[in-house]
Amino acid sequence: MTGSEASVISTLLVANRGEIARRIFRTCRELGIATVAVYSDADADAPHTREADAAFHLPGNAPADTYLRGDLLVAAALTCGADAVHPGYGFLSENPDFARAVTDAGLIWVGPPPAAIASMASKTRAKEIMADAGVPLLAPVRAEDATAADLPLLVKAAAGGGGRGMRLVRELSNLPSALAAASTEAASAFGDGEVFAEPYVENGRHVEVQILADAHGTVWVLGTRDCSLQRRHQKVIEEAPAPALPAALRAALHTAATEAAEAIGYQGAGTVEFLVAPGGRGYFLEMNTRLQVEHPVTECVYGIDLVALQLRVAEGHALPAAPPEPTGHAVEARLYAEDPARDWQPQTGVLHRLEVAGAGVPELSGPLVPAGLSGLSGLRVDSGFGAGDTIGIHYDPMLAKVIAWAPTRAEAIRRLAHALERSRVHGPVTNRELLVRSLRHPEFIAAQLDTGFYERHLDALTAAPDDNETRVAALAAALADACGRSRFGGWRNVPSQPQTKTYRLEPDGTEHEIRYRHTRDGLTADGLPDVHCLSATRSLVVLEVGGVRRQFAVFAYEDGSVYVDVPRLPGGATQGPGSGSDPGAGPSRGAGGRAPSCASYTSYTAYTSYVSYALTPLPRFPDPTARTEPGSLLAPMPGTVIRLANAAVGDAVQAGQPLLWLEAMKMEHKIIAPASGTLAALPVAPGQQVEVGALLAVVSD
């Protein structure tokens, strides 16, 4: 249960990790509350571990051995002298047994009473309670009684959320395997494998209502959020208030959320989620008895700190009779290390650079409430990673949440898109470009929102870059590399063999062999007749492309990776400012055709916006043993083989047919046959750990 009137929190343990732990620590620092972190082996040097006043080690890496061990978390709190526990979101945040263990240990639980959590912890039980309270809902469908008339169905985990343990079923024959897969994933993520099925509403909107309640009978309704843009049933872009909702529907959702809270004696922060059907009716989905990932947009609009209010409620303080009035609009984008063009495949590796333009780097930055009240930028970044950190295989690959506030929705969208496209994110592949394109999509701008957005538009939103554009970027990388290797930069003033450098574009795999030479008439590059070099340093190359001056910022890292950031004009074209006013600009290809100097300048300007290309330099003479047999399927990431399909070596398989499933980053990933043929090899078994690049299967013609 939450604290009494006499309760005072002096030291808080956050039973979580990453971005949400850092977010809670931030408020604690402002309130003068000491903090305790918990960390697994993989998180020994994570930002949240470093930032807390004390940190307690949870041996192991798997969530089941660490962040899902309630007994270890309570012991950590007692050992470190904490008097309260905040669960964050995910892991044990909605586990009533953990809440009881915390209070039984004499600690303050920063969350709703265990009984309230229990009533909502099972989504099936929650629906029964809401039905009794008169809240409209989609009734669950008994899997054993399901018929074709019930399709499509959505299989969901009864405990937890965040899109894990969910499967969409459009054919009745797929229901048993969907139930099994969802149950396995739910058990791994939440320690509870119970799942159920409910009708799936096509093209519905995901709208939720934020509530905050105290122990004195006051329930605040803090408006709506729209979270319809989702992938794998996980939210990508959220905003508050939910746009284009009829006033009557908005009022009905507010009323239903209040009734839900009152029906279970709720206290603390919580979210009541609804599915709004195309016809305009809202159905109760679930109640999250915790803080939501997307809580910043509500904070920005209402000018409040929800974590601070959670702590006050836990101490027993009463809320004012009514919440503050909302102002303006806020939009949040989740920046993930993932490849949307490849089935949203999560990525691992070193994050070399994370700089969000206008909001600071690489930690929690910007005001918690950037509602323009003090002339601030209106941008906020909540991040779990910083430059030099490693994105591993064990946890969610979200790098940061970038939030923008403005007086109107259109201005908030513009501000967020502009901040994202001006940001530098070097390391594993991310969804940054997808976020920018999504925010600028006509349907999103017009508030034509539904959960099928990415099903309709993913191909266009992940279109590959122009081949000529990436080739010019590779040329810039080669020229910068030449400056780093020679004080003369490889320039020649007599005819000679061309300089040669080969780069592979990541993650596309396209290889560009760059062949160029400098003569008295300037640079000539094979296949790029309209490109001329104006100046070059190790970090900035200025080229004239088709008569347009363009600047390429080049970043080379110790692991050999190279990133080329190319400024672009509105409308998608990539081009620098073209003003010629850059500090230290080198000599142009003017009278006399004088070749540029590698030392012409060493700084680069802050461009308006970027397209970023990741390149890997390739050796001139590749290792002949580093060849892969045609048809080989290699592990796209480190992970665990959790099950094999019903296909044996020697069987005929069809293109797209599942062969096995990997579990990595708390998600299940299907490995499919790349083409029709014969399964020639399957050298893995369930439970086997594999590294990135490990051979999983071979399909021969």
SS3 of 421-432: the string is: HCCEEECCCCCH
The token pair at 125 is 């039980």
The token pair at 459 is 């191909």
Report the distance separating Cα 668 and Cα 655, nearest Å.
20
- Per CATH, domain 203-326 is 3.30.470.20: yes
Angle, to 10 degrees, between the axis of helix 409-421 and the axis of helix 432-439? 150
Please write the tens of the pLDDT for every residue from 512-521.
999 998 777 7
Report the distance separating Cα 382 and Cα 366, nearest Å.
9
Fold identical between 139-200 and 203-326? Answer: no
pLDDT at 160: 62
73, with CB counted inside 10 A (0-12, 13-18, 19+), is: buried
Closest CA to 26 of 300, 267, 306, 213: 306
The DSSP letter of residue 622 is -
Report the distance separating Cα 343 and Cα 414, nearest Å.
27
Report the distance separating Cα 209 and Cα 298, nearest Å.
10
pLDDT at 377: 63
- Per CATH, domain 632-700 is 3.90.1150.10: no
Helix (H, G, I), strand (E, B) or coil at 187: helix
Measured between alpha carbons, how far is residue 171 from residues 338, 456, 610, 661 in Å? 29, 20, 43, 20
Q: Which residue has the tokens 């309260």?
A: 84
| H-helix or E-strand spanning residue 692 | none
Please write the tens of the pLDDT for every residue from 296-330.
999 999 999 999 999 999 999 999 999 999 999 99
Q: What is the dihedral of CA 65, 71, 73, 76, to 10 degrees?
A: -110
The token pair at 601 is 């300048």
Is 290 a catalytic site residue? yes
**Domain boundaries along the sequence of the chain:** 11-110, 139-200, 203-326, 328-463, 467-618, 632-700
Beta strands in 58-105 (DSSP E): 84-86
Angle, to 10 degrees, between the axis of helix 306-315 and the axis of helix 295-302? 90
Q: What are the mean pLDDT values of the chain's consecutive 10-residue runs (701 residues total)?
A: 67 97 96 98 96 98 95 98 97 96 98 94 77 79 83 80 77 87 78 81 92 97 98 94 96 92 94 92 90 96 96 97 96 97 91 82 52 58 93 91 95 95 94 97 97 96 92 96 67 66 93 89 87 94 91 95 83 42 34 37 50 91 58 84 90 92 78 91 90 88 82
pLDDT at 666: 64
The DSSP letter of residue 150 is G
May I ask the CATH architecture of the domain 139-200?
A: 2-Layer Sandwich (3.30)
Q: Which of 17, 290, 334, 409 is catalytic?
A: 290
Quote the Cα angle for 545-472-348, to 5°. Answer: 145
Q: In what order do the strands lie in the sheet with 153-157?
A: 167-169, 153-157, 195-199
Report the distance separating Cα 667 and Cα 343, nearest Å.
12
The DSSP letter of residue 145 is G
- CATH of the domain spanning 467-618, picked from 2.60.34, 3.30.700, 3.30.250, 3.90.550: 3.30.700
Report the distance separating Cα 559 and Cα 545, nearest Å.
30
8 Å CB contact between 82 and 14: no
CB atoms within 10 A of CB 670: 13
Q: Can you state the percent helix, strand and coil of the chain, rounding each to 5? A: 25, 30, 45
CB atoms within 10 A of CB 183: 19
- CATH of the domain spanning 11-110, picked from 3.40.50.20, 3.40.50.2300, 4.10.520.10, 1.10.3210.10: 3.40.50.20
Quote the Cα angle for 72-76-79, to 5°. Answer: 130
pLDDT at 252: 92
Structural class in CATH, domain 328-463: alpha beta
Query: Cis before residue 47, ω within 30 degrees of 0?
Result: no
**Residues whose CB falls within 8 Å of the CB of residue 622, separated by 6 or more in sequence, listed in order:** none
Report the distance separating Cα 539 and Cα 94, nearest Å.
49
